[in-house]
């Protein structure tokens, strides 16, 4: 009899746990999904790489703004860890819900193909934004900025900072990050094509987008190349780590840092001179443009084919352009952040 | 809790029978399904549920041998690295021109080898807990995967290969059929064969089992090798799911697998548990996550729920035990 | 009497021998690295090395105590992130909060987190690996929730706070001083206080410890609370050092800490572990992490090299011990 009582107790514990969860769920659902009363309301989903990334939060915010402005419903999801496995789980959940479109910032170029094909088979429009997936897995891609422009402009910035001669190094994210690798290729091209006989790219190192690893790699660079003049870090984690190391070691003015960084993270180092200036696009706009592209695909305004045009709210009109064999929509040129404008941007994202 | 039959054979009591963890698990499973169905109209759809099981079952294969390991009182945390290494080797040899069928066999071989090494180290170095040995090999195996693929992804598998993870036979996913097949085999092995009885015996009393003439070392090596083999089967389905692989795949799988086993009622102190509970736990966690995902619960809330569920699962039998002991004491005092 | 004395001296010799072996290994490693890159043994690089190893070394103290009591703590990465995030949010809201107060707050957050785990393990008899695994998920989830998916960045933190990790005293970084002070306290606590000795007693034989009047439950609770407090302290130091608090801070860091302990000769079987040992373990890991990039070892080889060295150290440790035990036995027969 006692045992029965214990079990009942235990069971009610479990139940109360679920009841607790239910309450949470309901709240979250209210917060995350805002349903509208429109007749032909569409449901558009955005999947980012992982949670807890302010850059991704801003992209999702821009996406939501665009979707809700047109009276549709936005679902914003991101796995806890930046893995393909978890993104596949989320894609499947969205197929189960029967959403109209999925915009995804991929954790891998190829590995999402079967899952995204399954989504397209289920009649869902699929596009990638920011970090691309391969052409077979998507209808089009939202490119945040021209990779050629990013690569070239960063080398030009570095050369200007060091006064035209000296050693430079690159601190990247992981060695298989497709974005970063493409930019680094263009950096090398710019170095070959331009008139930079006195500039030497000594090494490309990888901080894996981890704080501690990026710091250790920066310190190792400084040890290995005492004459190093400039570090280009085309990744938000790496550039902040490099800025921190240069500041802590009192090397401001001797070793320059530039690359791609979040204004909020880099404000400190732009103001103290460790990083004279850097570049980035506006993630809010990336999300916003993805939202309008997704709606245009669902409305049938575009099919993702070359030469399609559509209007993206406050951003104006866009055209689908070529990306090798596939197609993409280009947001624009990267934006330059410098001491004169960092104050107004650091609170934005 | 229920005791293995070898040691204590108590008379059948219907109350005791229905108070087993497996039945409670089943009730929770049903409740979860009712909850999910009431939150989302999209939940109770055959295709959706089948598709969901297609996604979460890949790590389910490792759960069976892991249950055996934990019943023996050991643990293996190198499984995710074994998955990574065997899938990376498979992709590499395939891209080097080896036919796909052979590449799959090589993948199984690599998994078996990883498990065998773990097993041999565990029995040869009894001073070391299995957790330490597998912690070291976990780093080592994944490190080798990185050396082979250098952080690139490799794929380009033949088209039919993706059917393994994405294909259906009469609306039932292939992966589910394979899973049921292995579930049946492992249930039989654990509960109906001498081998299974020895596994329980080792978990209950390693030394006594040794003295009763059973080759404990052999059984341990076999079980650890089985873990490796099943990890490589997981690797095959995972690679098929992504049609490619990278050295960092499956990270964190070991913790998910251990959570499923423990939730399934396998005692981490060794010697106790039933395969049916573990199988229920796989579907319970899978459907719970799918259901919460359908109503777009944030992923961080989902991990909190799984964490609490895990703790609760192990705490309930212990609380039961404590209250029982407390009552006994009181009776003695009276 | 003599026999007892001899036994003690031999076991002492063994542990000295083991540590000597590790020290020789480290010296050989240093010479090799210095030969490959002459920048290794510069004051500046040594300063980088020990500053980067400071956080690892602080965590290793707590992990050693946990492992001595036959436990393990997988949750410290999550506890570290939770404490770091909550402290960072607090200082960014109150810009003129005193840094010592911030350190204190982080430590308390960690201590509560660790205390909950301690209660689960001591009172509910949940196996440490399961309890910490479950709570790891819970704490990680909470970190994301209180951070609301965002980061706390450098410009939001007052200079006094970031200054904790960049300031130095006698040209040695504050982090290193904190670690040194904690090591002195830990040495005194573990070797010269009643409670400290009881930690070893619980680990080497829980049953006899209980009979001889040790409150096992309290010791376990205390050990996990200390571990949590140290992880909380490190959370603040981490955030101050990198001037950024994120939800995924220190994911997987627990494995490095466990590896440092194992390299330092702390035995998973419980009861064995010395402060001097973990210093060696931390030093070895710190050197590997600092030097592998310096001597241009391909990043893809680093993980495998680390795994191989850990496995080698652990296994050779056992072989040396067996050898000394054998000699010990032979001498006794005479």
Confidence band, pLDDT 50/70/90 cuts, at residue B9: very low
Chain A to chain C, count of Cβ pairs less than 8 Å apart?
Answer: 90
Q: Tell me which of A127 and C157 has the higher pLDDT.
A: A127
The reported pLDDT for the residue numbered C174 is: 87
Average pLDDT over residues B135-142: 89
Q: A25 vs chain C: nearest CA distance in angstroms? A: 14
Which run of H or E residues covers position B108? Answer: helix B100-124
Residue with the larger pLDDT of the pair B141 and B315: B141
Residues in Cβ contact with C235 at an 8 Å cutoff, skipping those fewer than 6 apart = C79, C80, C81, C82, C83, C84, C85, C87, C106, C109, C110, C249
pTM for this predicted structure:
0.82
Residue A116's pLDDT band (cuts 50, 70, 90):
very high
State the pLDDT at residue B229.
95
pLDDT at A224 over 80: yes
Chain B residues 307-326 with CB within 8 Å of chain C: 307-308, 310-311, 314-315, 318-319, 321-322
Q: For residue A5, what pLDDT is reported? A: 47
pLDDT of B78 above 60: yes
Cβ distance of C153 and A217 shorter than 8 Å: no
Task: Extract the tokens encoding B73.
Answer: 């009182």
Greatest extent of chain C over all pairs of C-alpha atoms, in Å: 72
Predicted pLDDT of residue A27: 39
Q: How far apart are CA A321 and CA B233, in angstroms?
A: 42
| C interface test, pick of A177, A212, A236 with most C CB neighbours within 10 Å | A212
Which of B33, B31, B72, B8 minimizes the C-alpha distance to B226? B72
Higher pLDDT, B310 or B109: B109
| Contact status, residue A63 vs residue A285, Cβ threshold 8 Å | no
Given a cut of 50, is residue A20 above it in pLDDT? no
Q: Minimal Cα–Cα distance from C47 to chain B, Å? A: 28
If DSSP codes are grouped into helix, strand and coil, which group holds residue C286?
A: helix
Report CB contact under 8 Å: A346, C144. no
Interchain CB distance below 8 Å, C133 and B308: no
Q: Mean pLDDT, to the nearest integer, of B111-124? A: 93
B248 CB neighbours in chain A (<8 A) are: 83
All residues of chain A having their beta carbon less than 8 Å from the beta carbon of residue B238 are: 85
Average pLDDT of chain A is 83
d(Cα B122, Cα B118) in Å, to the nearest integer?
A: 6
Say if the Cβ atoms of A97 and B42 lie within 8 Å.
yes
The dihedrals phi and psi of A50, each to the nearest 5 degrees, come to -160, 165
For position A26, what pLDDT does the model report?
A: 39
Q: How many CB atoms lie within 10 A of CB B121?
A: 21
Interface A-B, measured as beta-carbon pairs within 8 A, has a size of 157
CATH number of this structure's domain A38-144+283-332: 3.40.50.2300
Helix and strand counts by DSSP (H, E) for chain C: 13, 2
Lowest mean pLDDT among B138-142, B182-186, C12-16, C192-196: C12-16
Q: Is residue B166 less than 8 Å (CB to CB) from chain A?
A: yes
Residue of C nearest to A221 (CA): C294
Of A7, A97, A118, the CB nearest to B166: A118
Least confident among A123-127, A295-299, A303-307: A303-307
Name the residue with higher pLDDT: C204 or A31.
Answer: C204
Closest Cα in chain A, distance from residue C37 (Å): 8
| A205–C242 CB contact, under 8 Å | no
Read off the pLDDT band of A167 (50, 70, 90). very high
Range of lowest pLDDT (A19-23, A309-313, B30-34, B308-312) = A19-23
C45 and A223 in contact by Cβ < 8 A? yes
pLDDT of residue B85: 95
CATH 3.40.50.2300 in chain A is located at: 38-144+283-332, 147-280
- Partner chains of A (3+ C-beta pairs under 8 Å): B, C
The answer, for B290 touching chain A at a CB cutoff of 8 Å, is yes
Residues 4-63 of C with CB under 8 A from A: 37, 39-40, 42, 44-45, 48, 52
Per-residue confidence of chain C (334 residues) as pLDDT tens digits? 444 445 555 555 555 666 777 788 888 888 988 888 888 888 888 888 888 899 999 999 999 999 999 888 989 999 999 999 999 998 888 888 888 888 999 999 999 999 999 999 998 888 888 889 889 989 988 988 888 767 787 777 887 888 888 787 877 888 899 999 999 999 999 999 999 999 999 988 888 888 888 898 999 999 999 999 999 999 999 998 888 887 777 777 888 898 888 888 887 777 888 898 899 989 988 888 888 877 777 777 877 887 888 788 778 777 877 777 777 777 766 5
pLDDT confidence of residue A13: 47
Nearest CB to A51: which of B290, B295, B300?
B300
User: Which residues are A203's β-sheet partners?
Assistant: A169
pLDDT surpassing 70 at residue A46: yes
* ipTM of the complex in this document: 0.84
Whether B312 contacts chain A with CB within 8 A? yes
Could you write out the three-class secondary structure of chain A?
CHHHHHHHHHHHHHHHHHHHHHHHHHHHHHHHCCCCCCCCCCEEEEECCCCCCHHHHHHHHHHHHHHHHCCCEEEEECCCCCCHHHHHHHHHHHHHHCCCEEEECCCCCCCCHHHHHHHHHCCCEEEEECCCCCHHHCCEEEECCCHHHHHHHHHHHHHHHCCCCEEEEEEECCCCCHHHHHHHHHHHHHHHHCCCCCEEEEEEEECCCCHHHHHHHHHHHHHHCCCEEEEEECCHHHHHHHHHHHHHCCCCCCCEEEEECCHHHHHHHHHCCCCCCEEECCHHHHHHHHHHHHHHHHHCCCCCCCCCEEECHHHCEEECEEECCEEEEECCCCEEECCCCHHHHCCCC
Residue to substitute from C140, C203, C254, C307, interface B, most B β-carbons within 10 A? C307
**Residue C252: other Cβ atoms inside 10 A:** 12
Cβ contacts (< 8 Å) between A81 and chain B: which residues?
Answer: 251-252
Report the neighbours of B using a cutoff of 3 or more CB pairs below 8 angstroms.
A, C
Kindly indicate the confidence band of residue A39, based on its pLDDT and cuts at 50, 70 and 90.
low
Which of C92, C87, C114 is CA-nearest to residue C103? C87
CB contact under 8 A, B306 and C262: no
Domain range summary for chain C, segments of one domain joined by +: 54-276
Phi, psi dihedrals of residue C268, rounded to the nearest 5°:
-65, -20
Chain B residue closest to A48 (CA)?
A: B299
> By C-alpha distance, which of A318, A322, A173 is closest to A236?
A173
The band of B219, judged by pLDDT with boundaries at 50, 70 and 90, is: very high
Residues 6+ apart with CB under 8 A from B205: B271
Closest Cβ–Cβ partner in C140, C153, C248 for A265: C153
What was the pLDDT predicted at A28? 41
Q: Do C134 and B310 touch (CB under 8 A)?
A: yes
| Residues constituting chain B | 334
Q: How far apart are the C-alpha atoms of C232 and C214, rounded to whole Å?
A: 28
Kindly report the nearest CA distance between residue A163 and chain B, in angstroms: 35
Partners of B66 on chain C (C-beta within 8 Å) are: none
Using the beta-carbon criterion (under 8 Å), do A53 and C149 form an inter-chain contact? yes
* pLDDT value, residue B4: 47
DSSP state of B11: P
Query: Residue A32's pLDDT is what?
Result: 45
From the options 1.10.10, 3.50.50, 1.10.150, 1.10.3470, give the CATH code of B24-325: 1.10.3470
Query: Which chain B residues contact residue C304 at CB under 8 A?
Result: 139-140, 143-144, 146-147
User: Greatest CA separation found in chain B?
Assistant: 78
Task: Work out the average pLDDT over A152-163.
Answer: 90
- Between B181 and B209, the more confident residue is B181
CATH topology (fold) of A147-280: Rossmann fold (3.40.50)
- Residue B254 CB-half CA count within 13 A: 25
Checking if the pLDDT of B270 tops 80, the result is: no
């Amino acid at each position: 009899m006692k045992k029965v009582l214990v079990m009942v107790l235990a069971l009610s514990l479990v139940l109360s746990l679920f009841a607790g969860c239910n309450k949470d769920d309901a709240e979250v659902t209210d917060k995350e999904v805002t349903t509208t009363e429109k007749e032909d309301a569409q449901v558009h989903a955005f999947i980012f790489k992982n949670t807890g990334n302010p850059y991704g939060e801003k992209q999702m915010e821009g996406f939501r703004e665009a979707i809700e402005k047109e009276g549709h419903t936005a679902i914003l999801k991101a796995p806890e860890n930046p893995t393909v496995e978890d993104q596949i789980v989320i894609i499947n959940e969205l197929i189960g819900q029967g959403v109209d479109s999925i915009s995804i910032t991929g954790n891998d170029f190829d590995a999402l193909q079967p899952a995204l094909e399954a989504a397209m088979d289920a009649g869902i429009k699929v596009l990638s934004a920011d970090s691309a997936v391969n052409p077979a897995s998507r209808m089009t891609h939202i490119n945040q900025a021209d990779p050629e422009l990013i690569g070239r402009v960063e080398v030009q910035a570095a050369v200007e900072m060091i006064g035209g001669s000296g050693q430079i190094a690159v601190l990247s994210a992981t060695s298989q990050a497709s974005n970063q690798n493409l930019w680094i290729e263009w950096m090398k091209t710019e170095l070959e094509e331009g008139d930079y006989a006195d500039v030497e790219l000594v090494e490309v190192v990888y901080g894996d987008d981890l704080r501690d690893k990026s710091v250790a790699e920066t310190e190792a660079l400084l040890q290995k190349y005492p004459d190093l003049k400039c570090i280009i870090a085309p990744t938000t984690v790496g550039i902040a780590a490099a800025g921190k190391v240069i500041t802590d070691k009192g090397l401001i003015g001797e070793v320059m840092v530039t690359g791609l960084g979040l204004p909020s993270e880099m404000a400190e180092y732009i103001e103290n001179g460790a990083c004279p200036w850097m570049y980035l696009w506006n993630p809010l706009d990336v999300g916003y443009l993805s939202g309008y592209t997704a709606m245009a695909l669902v409305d049938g305004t575009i099919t993702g084919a070359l030469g399609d045009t559509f209007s993206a709210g406050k951003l104006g009109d866009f055209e689908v352009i070529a990306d090798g064999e596939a197609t993409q929509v280009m947001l624009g040129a990267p934006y330059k952040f410098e001491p004169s404008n960092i104050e107004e941007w650091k609170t934005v994202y | 809790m229920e005791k293995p039959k070898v040691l204590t054979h108590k008379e059948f009591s219907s109350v005791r029978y229905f108070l087993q963890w497996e039945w409670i698990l089943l009730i929770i499973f049903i409740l979860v399904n009712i909850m999910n169905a009431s939150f989302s109209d999209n939940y109770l759809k055959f295709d959706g549920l089948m598709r969901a099981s297609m996604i979460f079952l890949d790590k389910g294969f490792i759960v069976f041998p892991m249950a055996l390991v934990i019943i023996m009182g050991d643990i293996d945390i190198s499984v995710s690295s074994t998955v990574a290494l065997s899938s990376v080797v498979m992709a590499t040899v395939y891209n080097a021109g080896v036919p796909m069928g052979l590449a799959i066999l090589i993948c199984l071989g690599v998994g078996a080898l990883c498990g065998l090494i773990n097993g041999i180290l565990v029995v040869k170095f009894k001073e070391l807990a299995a957790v330490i040995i597998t912690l070291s090999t976990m780093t080592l195996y994944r490190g080798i995967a990185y050396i082979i693929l250098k952080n690139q992804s490799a794929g380009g598998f033949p088209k039919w290969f993706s059917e393994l993870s994405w294909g259906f036979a009469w609306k039932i996913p292939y992966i589910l059929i394979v899973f049921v097949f292995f579930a049946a085999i492992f249930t039989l092995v654990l509960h109906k064969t001498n081998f299974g009885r020895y596994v329980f015996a080792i978990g209950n009393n390693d030394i006594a089992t040794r003295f009763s003439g059973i080759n404990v070392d052999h059984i341990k090596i076999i079980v650890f090798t089985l873990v490796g083999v099943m990890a490589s089967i997981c690797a095959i389905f995972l690679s098929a799911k992504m049609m490619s692989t990278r050295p960092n795949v499956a990270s964190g799988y070991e913790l998910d697998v251990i959570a499923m086993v423990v939730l399934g009622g396998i005692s981490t102190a060794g010697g106790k548990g039933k395969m049916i509970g573990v199988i229920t736990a796989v579907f319970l966690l899978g459907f719970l996550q799918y259901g919460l995902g359908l109503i777009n619960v944030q992923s961080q809330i989902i991990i909190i729920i799984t964490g609490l569920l895990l703790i609760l699962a192990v705490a309930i039998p212990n609380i039961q035990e404590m209250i029982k002991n407390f009552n006994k004491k009181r009776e003695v005092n009276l | 009497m003599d026999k007892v004395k001899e036994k003690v001296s031999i076991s002492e010799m063994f542990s000295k021998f083991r540590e000597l072996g590790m020290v020789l290994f480290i010296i050989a490693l240093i010479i090799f690295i210095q030969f490959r890159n002459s920048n290794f043994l510069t004051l500046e690089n040594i300063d980088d090395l020990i500053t980067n190893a400071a956080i690892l070394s602080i965590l290793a103290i707590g992990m050693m105590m946990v492992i001595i009591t036959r436990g393990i703590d997988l949750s410290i990465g999550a506890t570290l992130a939770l404490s770091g995030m909550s402290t960072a949010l607090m200082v960014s809201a109150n810009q003129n909060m005193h840094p010592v107060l911030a350190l204190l707050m982080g430590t308390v957050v960690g201590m509560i987190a660790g205390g909950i785990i301690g209660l689960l393990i001591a009172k509910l008899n949940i196996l440490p690996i399961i309890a910490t695994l479950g709570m790891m998920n819970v704490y990680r989830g909470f970190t994301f929730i209180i951070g609301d998916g965002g980061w706390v960045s450098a410009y939001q933190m007052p200079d006094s706070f970031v200054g904790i990790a960049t300031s130095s005293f006698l040209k040695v970084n504050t982090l290193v001083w904190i670690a040194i002070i904690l090591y002195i306290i830990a040495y005194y606590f573990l070797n010269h206080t009643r409670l400290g000795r009881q930690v070893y007693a619980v680990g080497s034989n829980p049953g006899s410890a209980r009979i001889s009047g040790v409150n096992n439950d309290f010791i376990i609770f205390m050990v996990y609370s200390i571990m949590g407090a140290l992880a909380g302290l490190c959370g603040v130091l981490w955030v101050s050092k990198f001037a950024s608090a994120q939800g995924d801070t220190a994911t997987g860091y627990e494995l490095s800490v466990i590896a440092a302990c194992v390299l330092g000769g702390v035995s998973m079987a419980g009861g064995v572990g010395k402060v001097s040992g973990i210093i060696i373990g931390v030093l070895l890991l710190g050197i590997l992490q600092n030097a592998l990039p310096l001597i241009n070892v391909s990043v893809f080889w680093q993980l495998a090299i680390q795994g191989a060295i850990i496995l080698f150290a652990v296994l050779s440790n056992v072989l040396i011990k067996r050898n000394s035990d054998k000699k010990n036995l032979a001498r006794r027969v005479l």
